[in-house]
């Protein structure tokens, strides 16, 4: 027996009740579906509003950057031009070694020995963005007198646009016999720690 035939056999009041129950069920179903849609529409509305607010903030940030960005770009270009922006390669370390030896030779340092350690980032690393790094450098050498030591350190710092930062030194005067045993005149022996600064270039597109 179909539902329609069953309905026809019902009392008129029963038919009315069935109709009312069907209407109530349909209405509640529609209401539940509407509530679901409303929740989704609310979420979509919140997302679009957040996107709009974000776009407003981004635009305001660009406006606020209008004065900072050229300064930063110029600063970065200057660093790039002075050799700060470079990848850590064996050739670079050879180049730095040559610079250290040249400065030591100019200052009259003898028995110069140095080592360049692994770099460490100077801040949070963002993917694809340039990151400043510091390479610890240890120097040991003999020097004739205090002004020569100053000249050596100044030479390293000044000649390379402050790419080298001193962290500390310990200088000792040794007995002439010890120094003479090395066949050299200097009486002051220094052990210094430096940081060689570098910017690892970014891989991302320019923004």
Partner 1 sequence: MRRHLLLLAPQRLHTWSANWRALAEGPVFEADEAGLAAFARWLDDQGEQACYTLATDLADEQWAVERLPPLRGHDRRALIARRLAARFGTAAQAGSLPLGRRREGESVLLYAPADTRPLDRWLAPLTDRQARITGVHAIAFALDRARRHRPPAADARSLLVSTTAAGLRHSLVVDGRLRHSRLLAAGETDGDDALRRTRAQLYAQGLIEHDDALPLTILDRAPAATADPVLRAALDGRLPHCGDEALRLPWRIARLRSHLTAAAFVVATVGSLATIGLQASIQAAAQESTRYLAASAELDARRQADLATQPPLPADIDTMTRMLEALAAQRAQHADPVPLLQALGQALDAHPAVELQWLAWKRQAASASTPSPVEALDLGVALDAVAREDGGSAFLAHLGGHPTVGAIVATAPDRNRSGPQPPPASLRVSLQGTGATEGRR
Q: How near is the Cβ of 32 to partner 1 at its closest, in Å?
A: 9
Residue 10 binds partner 1 (CB under 8 A): no
Q: How near is the Cβ of 98 to partner 1 at its closest, in Å?
A: 21
- 168-196: burial string, b at 16+ Cβ within 10 Å, e else: eeeeeeeeeeebeeeeeebbbbbebebbb
Could you say which DSSP state residue 85 is in? B
Among residues 63 and 90, whose Cβ is nearest to partner 1? Answer: 63
> In this structure, what token pair is assigned to residue 171?
């200088």
Could you say which DSSP state residue 21 is in? H
Q: Of 96-115, which residues contact partner 1 (CB under 8 A)?
A: none
Residue 27 binds partner 1 (CB under 8 A): yes
Residue 84 binds partner 1 (CB under 8 A): yes
Q: How near is the Cβ of 99 to partner 1 at its closest, in Å?
A: 16
Q: Which stretch binds partner 1 (CB under 8 A): 35-43, 87-95, 97-105, 178-186?
A: 35-43
Q: Which residues pair with 192 in a beta bridge?
A: 139, 169
CA dihedral 82, 88, 91, 94 (to 10 degrees): 80
Q: How near is the Cβ of 110 to partner 1 at its closest, in Å?
A: 18
Are 192 and 112 a contacting pair, CB within 8 Å? no
Which one of residues 87, 126, 180, 184 is an interface residue with partner 1 (CB under 8 A)? 126
Residue 88 binds partner 1 (CB under 8 A): no
> In this structure, what token pair is assigned to residue 41?
């529409």
Residues 6+ apart with CB under 8 A from 157: 164, 165, 166
Phi, psi dihedrals of residue 131, rounded to the nearest 5°: -130, 135
Residue 116 binds partner 1 (CB under 8 A): no
Rounded distance between C-alpha atoms, residue 129 and residue 204, angstroms: 6
Among residues 74 and 98, whose Cβ is nearest to partner 1? Answer: 74
Binding pattern to partner 1, positions 147-186, x when CB under 8 A? x-xx--xx--xx---x-xxxxxxxxxx-------------
Which one of residues 6, 7, 21, 87 is an interface residue with partner 1 (CB under 8 A)? 21
Residue 90 binds partner 1 (CB under 8 A): no
Q: Which stretch binds partner 1 (CB under 8 A): 40-48, 87-95, 102-110, 177-185?
A: 40-48
> In this structure, what token pair is assigned to residue 89?
């390669």
């Amino acid at each position: 027996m179909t539902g329609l035939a069953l309905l026809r056999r019902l009392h008129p009041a029963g038919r009315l009740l069935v109709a009312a129950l069907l209407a109530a069920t349909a209405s509640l179903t529609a209401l539940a579906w509407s509530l679901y849609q409303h929740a989704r529409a609310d979420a979509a509305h919140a997302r679009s509003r957040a996107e709009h607010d974000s776009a407003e903030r981004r635009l305001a940030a660009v406006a606020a950057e209008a004065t900072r960005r050229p300064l930063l770009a110029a600063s970065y270009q200057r660093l790039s031009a002075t050799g700060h922006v470079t990848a850590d390669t064996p050739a670079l370390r050879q180049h730095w070694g040559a610079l250290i030896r040249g400065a030591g030779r100019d200052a009259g340092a003898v028995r110069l020995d140095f080592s360049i350690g692994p770099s460490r980032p100077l801040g949070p690393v963002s993917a694809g963005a340039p990151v400043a790094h510091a390479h610890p450098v240890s120097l040991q050498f003999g020097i004739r007198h205090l002004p020569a030591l100053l000249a050596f350190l100044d030479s390293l710092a000044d000649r390379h646009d402050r790419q080298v930062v001193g962290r500390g030194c310990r200088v000792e005067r040794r007995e002439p016999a010890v120094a003479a045993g090395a066949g050299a005149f200097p009486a002051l022996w220094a052990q210094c720690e430096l940081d060689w600064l570098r910017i690892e270039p970014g891989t991302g597109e320019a923004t």
